[in-house]
Amino acid sequence: MAKEKKVQQITDMDADFAQWFTDVVVKAGLIDYSGVKGFYILRPYGYAIWENIQAILDKRFKELGHHNVSMPVLIPESLLQKEKDHVEGFAPECAWVTLGGNEELPERLCVRPTSETLFCDHWSHVLHSWRDLPMKYNQWCSVLRWEKTTRPLLRGREFLWQEGHTIHETAEEAKEETETMLNVYAELCEDYLAMPVIKGRKTDKEKFAGAEATYTIECMMHDKKALQSGTSHYFGDGFARAFNITFSDRENKLRYPHQTSWGVSTRIMGGIIMTHGDNNGLVLPPMIAPTQIVIIPVAMHKPGVLDKAEELRARLEKAGFRVMMDDSDQSPGWKFAEYEMKGIPLRIEIGPRDIESGNFVAVRRDNGEKAVCAIDQLEEKADELLKTIQASMYEKAKANLTENIYPATTMDEAKAVIEKGGFIKMMWCGDEACEIKMKEDVGVSSRCIPFEQEHLGDVCPVCGKPAKEMVIWGIAY
């Protein structure tokens, strides 16, 4: 058996971005395909990224007073049907359990596509008084949606997510919650994943089934398409009325509470890949990378090399970095390619000549820059380089976003934007018919009505009627 494993090849991202993406998720060891279409295995390296995202969010949720819970995986059809808009949105995508223990069930049960109905049913049991409010819950789980076309991480029939569900005494408090949680998601993206976001509200056409309002963060991928990366929904008291959830208010009168939900899924890992990846594979932001630094001993059979490499590893680990050292018998060249594929932010090379001169070589994954650094300054240099990488990755992604949003005041201008790639910002009359026409004629959907509005004109370029607000349009994943 040959010791040398083959360096893995991936498709050129500019030639075929979709195939490049699939190559990266498979060859970086993030996912494997299962025997069922649209169901994927999140392998150790992929799951470790998700665990880092979970840790950041879970800590933040708890700081903000949320509690984790676990709801059943199955929803009776009658429960799903209680809120009219909600069931219309989700029933077509449900997977149904019809047999249990070889007996036909009296009522078919849906594998949860989302859990609003379950939370509502629970709250209808346990909510009594305004003193019980707010109830701010979250659950980490997987959900099923029977999609026709599927892609790893981006569109699975099963995906992992967190779903936050809260009920509140007043509409104001519930609205504030949706805003707070959207900001938590924006911070996750910008501060940890180095993904700049546009915050805004979804149009009625694009909002969540059963919501009064859906808020979103939208990111621009390398191919200038949009990825909805997190959403937060305000339900008013619609679900509460449908599920008869009431409480005694401060005047001892029965009232309906106001409700929210919000979620981020493993889809965001697809976003990391498509924001930062390159033709050598994955590029991970240091804040989220399972391994931040890989140490590769060069000419490791030479005396002292492995010892020094291990010494560097131990020092970095002690200083709190997530670090590994690869002393396997693959060649340095194979190792360089392998850890580039896996997107490890910083590579440290150490060989006999480096040791002699008291130096090591540090190579940035994001731009390939090499630096020769003093071993004495190992920890400071590693810290400095990782911070620089994190900041540079954000700046690069931010430039991609800001340089590729174009105003349009006519349909022709809008089409021209999509031809070169990017988001369109354009005034809108508020009419769904114009959204449908944008989809048909330009091939874009409304991504959001951004919180940061601009006045680009007085009329809707689609219909010519008076414009209400500015919308961001794009081709979406």
Q: For binding to its own copies (CB under 8 A), which residues are involved?
A: 1, 32-36, 39-44, 47-48, 50-51, 67-74, 76, 79, 91-102, 108-109, 111, 118, 121-122, 125-126, 129, 131, 137, 141-142, 144, 146, 148, 157-158, 160, 248, 252, 328
Distance CA(64)–CA(57), nearest Å, equals: 11
Per DSSP, the residues of 185-216 read HHHIIIIIS----EEEE--GGGS-TT-SEEEE
Q: Residue 411 CB, nearest distance to its own copies (Å)?
A: 35
Shortest separation between residue 125's beta carbon and its own copies, angstroms: 6
The least distance separating its own copies from the CB of residue 70, rounded to whole angstroms, comes to: 4
Quote the least distance from Cβ 104 to its own copies, whole Å: 10
Question: Nearest approach, Cβ of 148 to its own copies (angstroms)?
Answer: 7
Sheet holding 469-474, edge to edge: 67-68, 135-144, 158-168, 258-265, 226-236, 213-220, 198-201, 445-450, 469-474, 423-428, 405-407
Cis status of the peptide bond prior to 134, with omega within 30 of 0: yes
Q: Closer CB to its own copies, residue 131 or residue 455?
A: 131
The residue among 100 and 466 lying less far from its own copies, judged by its C-beta, is 100
**CA atoms of 5 and 338, how far apart (whole Å):** 10
Nearer CB in complex with its own copies: 107/458: 107
Residues in the chain: 477
**C-alpha dist (Å) from residue 96 to 36, 109, 161, 450, 461:** 15, 6, 20, 37, 44
We find the least distance from the C-beta atom of residue 302 to its own copies, in angstroms, to be 23
Six token digits for residue 148: 């026709």
Least CB distance to its own copies at residue 5 (A): 9
The partner residues of 361 in beta bridges, in order of sequence, read 349, 372
Residue 350 DSSP label: E
Residue 122 or 175: the one with the smaller Cβ distance to its own copies is 122
Q: CB of residue 4 vs its own copies: minimum separation in angstroms?
A: 12
Gap between the Cα atoms of 51 and 44, Å rounded: 10
* Beta strands in 77-225, from DSSP E residues, in sequence order: 95-100, 103-111, 135-144, 158-168, 198-201, 213-220
SS3 for 292? Answer: coil
Place of tokens 């004109």: 457
Nearer to its own copies, 35 or 303 (CB): 35
Output the CA–CA distances (angstroms, integers) from residue 475 to 435, 442, 453, in the order listed: 13, 9, 20
Pick between residue 69 and residue 361 the one whose CB is nearest to its own copies: 69
Q: Judged by CB, which is closer to its own copies: 137, or 235?
A: 137
Nearer to its own copies among residue 139 and residue 231 (C-beta): 139
